[in-house]
């Protein structure tokens, strides 16, 4: 009887041990519960919470970087860097294009002043363009935007090209004669194309022919004497000459005619 009792007890212990092992095994086989984790790139579906993105700037060799806003998928606006070109070769600019834009902008200024635009396609205009171009080339050699070079004045250039008498005209009031004396019919200017430069404490950069022309005309309009002569009512023609040096310096001349 004693032996049978011991055997029964041993069987019960064995069953308990086996049952415990099965339970533990089932727990290990089932694994752990999924737990949400947040990584640096995760974002909530409703756009709430989180860091809302970050602003970074990566410099590119030879360029500066300027942050510009971009939209993230959750609607948050962040800033990413876009390169800003620091230098454009002078050969990328076209002198004739700049001249054409200058003429366009001058006519817009004349329209704003309620005076007729400059006419085009006349023989005298071609002579004015040639005279203006020659003077811009001389200014480029001198490295300065000036009216008189080597003793030759604006009046002298009009006389030497046979334009002095042809370009003289009556004032709008009819009270006097407008003549190319004392630089009256001329405007000159110098700026820079494709290179960063400083003017009056401000950094400026002109990347296109149009931007170069706009700067030149804006400078002329900012000077009362030039504004007045370039918007004379009875001035019917204008010659434009532009010279761009290998270093990007731009010299421009405008010569008017009645």
Cβ-proximal residues to 113 (8 Å cutoff; 6+ apart), any chain: 231
Q: Is residue 36 domain-resident?
A: no
What residues pair up with 130 in beta bridges, in sequence order?
none
CA separation for the pair 70, 196 (Å, rounded): 26
DSSP state of 141: H
- Beta strand extents in the chain (DSSP E only): 63-71, 77-85, 169-170, 177-178, 186-192, 197-199, 202-204, 237-244, 249-257
- Which structural domain, as residue segments, surrounds residue 183? 125-190+220-257
For tokens 């002043």, the residue is 113
What pLDDT is stored for residue 4 in this prediction? 42
Q: Is residue 24 domain-resident?
A: no
What pLDDT is stored for residue 54 in this prediction? 29
Query: 10-residue block means of pLDDT along the chain (258 residues)?
Result: 42 41 37 33 33 28 40 46 71 98 98 97 95 98 98 98 97 92 97 96 97 98 98 97 98 98
Number of domains the chain contains: 1
Q: Is residue 164 domain-resident?
A: yes
What pLDDT is stored for residue 10 in this prediction? 43
> Beta-carbon neighbour count of residue 110 at 10 Å?
19
- Each residue's pLDDT tens digit, 186-211: 999 999 999 999 999 999 999 999 99
What pLDDT is stored for residue 174 in this prediction? 87
CA separation for the pair 102, 254 (Å, rounded): 9
**CATH number of the domain within which 168 lies:** 3.40.33.10
Q: Is residue 228 domain-resident?
A: yes
For tokens 């004396």, the residue is 181
Give SS3 for 158: helix
Q: Is residue 176 domain-resident?
A: yes
Q: Is residue 172 domain-resident?
A: yes
Q: Is residue 244 domain-resident?
A: yes
Structure tokens at 194: 């494709």
Q: Is residue 138 domain-resident?
A: yes
> Beta-carbon neighbour count of residue 97 at 10 Å?
15
CA separation for the pair 16, 172 (Å, rounded): 120
Using only the alpha carbons of the chain, give its radius of gyration. Answer: 40
Q: Does the predicted model carry a pTM greater than 0.85?
A: no
């Amino acid at each position: 009887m004693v032996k049978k009792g011991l055997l029964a007890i041993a069987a019960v212990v064995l069953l308990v041990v086996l049952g415990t092992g099965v339970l533990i095994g089932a727990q290990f086989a089932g694994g752990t519960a999924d737990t949400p984790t947040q990584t640096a790139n995760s974002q909530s579906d409703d756009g709430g919470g989180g860091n809302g993105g970050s602003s970074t700037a990566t410099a590119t060799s030879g360029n500066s970087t300027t942050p510009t806003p971009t939209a993230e998928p959750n609607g948050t606006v962040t800033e990413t860097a876009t390169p800003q070109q620091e230098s454009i070769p002078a050969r990328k600019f076209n002198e004739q294009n700049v001249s054409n834009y200058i003429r366009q902008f001058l006519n817009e200024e004349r329209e704003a002043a309620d005076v007729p635009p400059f006419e085009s396609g006349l023989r005298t205009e071609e002579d004015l363009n040639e005279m203006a171009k020659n003077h811009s080339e001389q200014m480029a050699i001198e490295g300065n935007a000036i009216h008189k070079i080597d003793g030759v004045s604006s009046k002298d250039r009009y006389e030497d090209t046979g334009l002095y008498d042809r370009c003289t005209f009556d004032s709008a009031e009819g009270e006097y004669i407008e003549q190319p004396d004392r630089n009256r019919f001329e405007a000159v200017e110098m700026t820079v194309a494709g290179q960063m430069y400083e003017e009056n404490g401000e950094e400026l950069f002109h990347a296109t022919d149009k931007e170069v022309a706009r700067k030149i005309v804006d400078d002329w309009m900012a000077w009362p004497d030039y504004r007045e002569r370039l918007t004379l009512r009875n001035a019917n023609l204008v010659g434009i000459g532009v010279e761009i040096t290998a270093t990007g310096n731009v010299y421009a001349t405008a010569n008017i005619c009645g």
